[in-house]
Amino acid sequence: RISGLEEEVARVTGIVAALGMPPYHDLAGNPIDISPMGRHRNDYRIELGEGYVFCTTCEVVCPPRASHCRDCDNCVLAFDHHCPFVNNCIGQRNYRFFCALLASAMCLGVATIAGVAIWFGHSQVHAWANRVAIVAFVACAVTLVVFVAGLGSLHAYLVVRGLTTREAFTGRVGDRGRTLLHLRGP
C-alpha cells in the first residue's frame, strides 16, 4: 500500500472513500450518488464530468469511453467487448488485431471452400458416403464464413461510425470523438 495515495486521489477527483468502501463522499462530506455498472456487487461508477468516471472496482479514474470488464476485472480504454474466442478484452489497443483476425478467418474459410470445391471437381470420388461427407463439410464451412463475414461487416460499420460494440448496443455514446467521416458532436 502506498502512503498518501488515497489523499492524492481524493484531491484530484474530489472523491473521498471511507476505508475504500462505499458510500463515497465529496470533499465537503456530502454523499455521492453512485449508479450500478455491472452484475457484481462492487461494480459501480461515479460520474466526474467531462466523460470521466471513477471505477470503484479498480479504484481508478477512467477516461471517457473506458469501461470495466467483469470477465477480466480490469478497466479497458475504448472497451468494445470481451471476446470469448480469444479470451481477451477488445478495446483501444487491440481492436485492429481483432479486425485482422476476422479478416484472416474469413480469407481462410473462403480458401478452404475453394480448395475443397476444386479438389471435389477434379477427384474421382465415386463413393456416395464420401460425397455426402464433403458436401456436409462445405455446408458447415459456408455457414461459418457467412457468420464471420457478418461479424466483420458489423465491425466495419462500427469503425466507420466511430462506435464500439458496447456503445452501439447500449445506446450510450459520448458527444466527443472522431469517426472516419466526421467529428462526433456539435
Residues 6+ apart with CB under 8 A from 35: 44, 45, 47
Positive or negative, the CA dihedral 70, 74, 75, 76 is negative
Q: Please tell me which residue in 69, 72, 75, 83 is annotated as part of the active site.
A: 83
Provide the strand spans (E) within 27-152. 35-36, 44-49, 52-55, 60-62, 67-69, 74-76, 81-83, 88-90
If DSSP codes are grouped into helix, strand and coil, which group holds residue 73?
A: coil
What is the total residue count of the chain? 186
Residue 83 is among the residues annotated as catalytic for this protein: yes
Q: How far apart are CA 14 and CA 25, in angstroms?
A: 8
- In terms of Cα–Cα distance, which of 31, 33, 29 is closest to 44? 33
DSSP secondary structure of 18-60: ETTEEEEEETTSPBPP-EE-SSSTT-EEEEEETTEEEETTTTE
Residues with a catalytic annotation lie at 83
